[in-house]
Chain A
Amino acid sequence: MYGLMPECSLEMPDSYYGLDDYEKGVARWCSGCGDHAVLSAVQRMCREKQLPPEKTVFVSGIGCSSRFPHYMDTYGFHGLHGRAFPVACGVKFRRPDLNVFVVTGDGDCCSIGAGHWVHGVRYNMDITVLLFDNEIYGMTKKQTSPTSPLGTKSNTHPTGSVLPPVDILQTTLGLSNVSFVAQTTDWVPGHLYATIKKAHEHPGFAFVKIMMRCPKFMQDLVDQHTSNRDLYSLLEHDDGIQVDPATSQLFENKVKHDPSNIHNARELLENGKSWYLGLLYQNQEAIRYDLYGSQNLGFSTDQKMEALETELDKFAI
């Protein structure tokens, strides 16, 4: 290149992915729905990380959130209600080269698919999980969700729900082999973006609970959440989620929390009256099942044939 000193090396990528390389179709979520914000943040993160679209897979279940893969110009798997985790784990098992994301909702993950949530966390495969928690069933038109606050009036509980909600964060922190638990919200874009990026960088099952607006069915909750800044606390730490100063300024309450300290995370959630946004827990050393799955990749047919002959010998007369 003219004018460049010979000892100077310049790396030029073959191609540069722009936002439009990740965009597909027009999202059919209600206006004001938090899902739009997450879609934008995820597309931005993909561009920032320059994830090749053909090496990126979004797996979802069923529900409003689970329409997500249709709006990403990557590979996608829009499967069955509650079953995104097993599918995503199967995708990742023999494909360490793929960036795998799961997009799920409060009903999908914590109700019909709760068994897979428990085991998905335990498998700790290198997958980024985005749980859209709007505390209501939206797609099927306002039924009580396992995370609906006690007393929520819905079509299935017209006089108010009768059971306390599932505590997603405490439950996840209590699961065996948990390696990454964070909380963010769709209405603080800077924090949302930083959290998704941190989750993607985590070598393991990065579980992100995203508090979501559902203006259609939970307007009161949205108003309550978005108008009271003192309801929230920002978790701060060098190993935590780093946000820009403008985002940081939005928070009146800030709490120092070391994400390696699971006991402190549990204590905060147990005692605090606040919604804690940030990284609650991270352990990069947890056992990873995807490494077990990909340990013997790439055998040649000759190798397989030879090994199979050895096995047949054991059945020989």
Chain B
Amino acid sequence: MKNRAEAVVKPIKEAPKRTSITEHIVEIVSDSGEGAQKVGQSFGAISAKMGNGVWTVEIIPADIQPPARTRESASGVSIRIGSEKITNAGDEADVLVAFNEIVPYTRIDLNAYKKGTIVLIENMWANHESEEIRESYARAMEDFLRRGYVIHEIPMEEQCLKITANPKKGKNMWVLGLLCFMYDRNMAIAQEQVKTTFRKKSEAVIETNLKLLDAGYEWAEAHLQLRYNIPTIPSDKELLVMNGNEALGLGIAAAGIEVCSIYPITPATSTSHSLAEYFHNVGGVMHQAEDELAAIGFAIGASYAGKTAVTVTSGPGIALKTEFIGLGVMAEVPLVIIAVQRGGPSTGLPTKVEQGDLLSVMYGQPGDAPKIVLAPSTIEECFQFVILARQIAEAFRMPVFILSDANLATGVTTLPRPSIRAEWFSPPVDQSAWKEGVNPYQWNEESGLSKRPIPGQKGGEYTLTGLAHSDSGKVTYQPDLNQKSAAYRSRKLAAFGQTLKPPKVYGDHDGDLLLIGWGSTRGAIEEAVDILRAKGLKISSLNLHFLSPLEPGLREIFQRFKKVMTVEINYSDDPSDPLITSENRRYSQLAWILRAHTLLDVDCFSNVHGLPLNPGKIVAKVNQELNR
């Protein structure tokens, strides 16, 4: 595209054929409040329902109501759709739909687009009454051309005015209709999706949005040359569509957990939103506490009195809960703690991804406070790991952490529908008489395990305390008893470790480079490995699901590779930065742990841009490393 004249979209005379593609990344960006997120999530859900692989990432402004037509106002979604399963957000977008010319710049700064990216842009600004806006628009179009984008100017406002007096509220569904035509989406599914999206609104609102959807579709059919289809591979499995936080909520229900005690915090809160809608139907109750401390205190109280409870939070919440976490470890109270990580330290980046809570979760308490830490790497695992965590917490009588992150929290994808099993659900609270002569902390010499009495059990009366205590639960300051009880609590981790198997290497079992990741980065890392292996590089990857205790056999696996490097979304010093030497370099969080654990020179590639890691960045880093 050489000039703007070509960008004006005119009615087409003869309908071109659809191009078949295997995948596309589509971004929709608007001012905050114009509903681009709704378009994106709906478009993702429709595509998933048609059987495409999907991964969506939300573009969230930091403020609630930032000024319109500013970079800060950019709000939207990036959707990657493919014929096969999609495990990560991918690299640059193929298509951008923008509601004005300013908001894309937030994403341009992040290299979200490439030469050839198709830009569908609202054209109302071209003839706006304000000269300043007209000029801004014209300047941006020239700039877009220079960057190699392919512009299509779309009369969104003009078309929507035919249906609604307030296009600001309706433009998004018109755009959804346009995209549905562009990608040959099933309109019956799309209409159902619109009804679901507006299920809490009036009939009239639903009606208007359905009209806008149809209008967008029809306009695109009459005007757009851009026509694709992304074939689906038929699956005989029944599929579900959800994001990571919804999966965590369903996992809580499927674990038979009956108390979820939270204090609102981004990006963890939406777990409680979706769960709150149905928790009472599955026998649970949501408690919104007065603060983070009370949220975990309440959960510990509920766990102590019967069924294992759960609390859901993020980094700053973990910091506030620290003292209670220590109590949970010391007094051996089963508890599930879900941390949906965001950027830190302090309030940091509330809506952005980081894997920065690993070390604080493991070592945040005074003294030695061993606990089990799990890291789901997919949305499906977000569901499964809650069930697992509840069982481990009870068997090992201790708090169990699940470390999710903002990338999994809001990423939407498909997963096979789980077949629910009765043994997932917690059993009824034991109210039988306590066995005479058994102490409340009768630690097993071999495993450190003990059985806990629950209020209501006659003969089991004891006083739980965070003070050092003997096996009878009595406060003690005896040096040998404190050493012994600390050893038992630690031994539980070793006992749990006995149940773990060495992790599976993705790719060959030996080679030049092994990339190690944990949590949400798995999809991007494995895709990068695929790309690099296709080019003949001897590279493999490893995803760790268990971070405390670590899975066995890591040293042996690492030694089969010439170089080992973690890939994480948290801070590490860049060796080329001023003053940084091999002696004083501060490593990323998993790298610290692996270096101490294996005594091998584990390197790391990590950063805190607050962005999901994409395969392209990993490929570039590996190329740089191996060409050294």
| A interface residues with partner B (beta carbon < 8 Å) | 52-55, 57-59, 69-70, 72-80, 83, 85-95, 97-98, 115-116, 118-119, 292-293, 295-299, 301-305, 307-312, 315-317
Q: Could you write out 30 A-B pairs with CB less than 8 Å apart?
A: A58-B463, A70-B463, A78-B467, A79-B464, A83-B293, A83-B297, A86-B290, A86-B293, A86-B297, A91-B455, A93-B285, A93-B305, A94-B258, A94-B259, A94-B307, A95-B306, A97-B456, A115-B294, A119-B289, A119-B290, A305-B420, A305-B422, A307-B253, A307-B281, A307-B283, A308-B254, A311-B278, A315-B241, A316-B417, A317-B51
Residues of B within 8 A of A118 (CB): 290
Residues of B within 8 A of A72 (CB): 463
Residues of B within 8 A of A80 (CB): 297, 323-324, 327, 466
* Residue B461 is within 8 A (CB to CB) of chain A in the complex: yes
Expressed in whole angstroms, the Cα–Cα distance for A91 and B462 within the complex equals 15
Interface of B (DSSP majority class): mixed
Whether the Cβ atoms of B301 and A304 lie closer than 8 Å is no
* Residue B239 is within 8 A (CB to CB) of chain A in the complex: yes
With A83-B297, A115-B294 already in contact, the answer to whether A90 and B305 are too (CB < 8 A) is yes
Expressed in whole angstroms, the Cα–Cα distance for A53 and B242 within the complex equals 47
A194 → chain B, closest Cβ, in Å? 27
* Residue B448 is within 8 A (CB to CB) of chain A in the complex: no
Whether the Cβ atoms of B283 and A299 lie closer than 8 Å is yes
Whether the Cβ atoms of B285 and A79 lie closer than 8 Å is no
Residues of B within 8 A of A77 (CB): 301, 304, 463-464
Residues of A within 8 A of B174 (CB): none
* Residue B137 is within 8 A (CB to CB) of chain A in the complex: no
User: A90 contacts which of B49, B304, B453 (Cβ < 8 Å)?
Assistant: B304
Binary A-proximity of B407-421 (CB < 8 A = 1, otherwise 0) = 000000010011010
Whether the Cβ atoms of A311 and B250 lie closer than 8 Å is yes
Whether the Cβ atoms of B305 and A316 lie closer than 8 Å is no
With A93-B298, A98-B455, A296-B280 already in contact, the answer to whether A83 and B324 are too (CB < 8 A) is yes
* Residue B40 is within 8 A (CB to CB) of chain A in the complex: no
B179 → chain A, closest Cβ, in Å? 19
Whether the Cβ atoms of B281 and A310 lie closer than 8 Å is yes
Whether the Cβ atoms of B455 and A86 lie closer than 8 Å is no
* Residue B598 is within 8 A (CB to CB) of chain A in the complex: no
Residues of B within 8 A of A98 (CB): 305, 455-456
| Residue in B closest to A90 when the chains form the complex, CB atoms | B301
With A83-B324, A88-B301, A94-B258 already in contact, the answer to whether A303 and B283 are too (CB < 8 A) is yes
User: B302 contacts which of A70, A93, A295 (Cβ < 8 Å)?
Assistant: A93
* Residue B238 is within 8 A (CB to CB) of chain A in the complex: yes
| Residue in A closest to B249 when the chains form the complex, CB atoms | A311
Residues of A within 8 A of B302 (CB): 90-91, 93-94
Whether the Cβ atoms of A91 and B51 lie closer than 8 Å is no
| Residue in A closest to B415 when the chains form the complex, CB atoms | A315
Expressed in whole angstroms, the Cα–Cα distance for A174 and B464 within the complex equals 33
Residues of B within 8 A of A116 (CB): 290, 294, 297
B246 → chain A, closest Cβ, in Å? 7
Residues of B within 8 A of A83 (CB): 293-294, 297, 324
Residues of B within 8 A of A73 (CB): 461
Whether the Cβ atoms of A308 and B285 lie closer than 8 Å is no
Expressed in whole angstroms, the Cα–Cα distance for A308 and B475 within the complex equals 43
Expressed in whole angstroms, the Cα–Cα distance for A196 and B425 within the complex equals 40
The 3 closest A-B pairs by CB, nearest first: A90-B301, A76-B463, A299-B283
Expressed in whole angstroms, the Cα–Cα distance for A97 and B429 within the complex equals 13
* Residue B523 is within 8 A (CB to CB) of chain A in the complex: no
Whether the Cβ atoms of A316 and B239 lie closer than 8 Å is yes
Residues of A within 8 A of B111 (CB): none
* Residue B389 is within 8 A (CB to CB) of chain A in the complex: no
| Residue in A closest to B422 when the chains form the complex, CB atoms | A301
* Residue B271 is within 8 A (CB to CB) of chain A in the complex: no
User: A75 contacts which of B254, B461, B475 (Cβ < 8 Å)?
Assistant: B461
Expressed in whole angstroms, the Cα–Cα distance for A116 and B253 within the complex equals 28
* Residue B282 is within 8 A (CB to CB) of chain A in the complex: yes
With A83-B294, A83-B324 already in contact, the answer to whether A315 and B425 are too (CB < 8 A) is no
Whether the Cβ atoms of A293 and B285 lie closer than 8 Å is yes
B299 → chain A, closest Cβ, in Å? 6
* Residue B460 is within 8 A (CB to CB) of chain A in the complex: yes
B286 → chain A, closest Cβ, in Å? 10
Knowing that A75-B461, A92-B305, A307-B278 are A-B contacts, what are 17 other residue pairs whose CB atoms are under 8 Å apart, sorted by A's residue number?
Answer: A54-B458, A59-B301, A73-B461, A78-B463, A78-B465, A79-B300, A94-B285, A94-B302, A95-B305, A295-B285, A299-B283, A301-B422, A301-B425, A305-B420, A310-B278, A311-B253, A311-B278
Expressed in whole angstroms, the Cα–Cα distance for A298 and B49 within the complex equals 36
Expressed in whole angstroms, the Cα–Cα distance for A297 and B306 within the complex equals 12
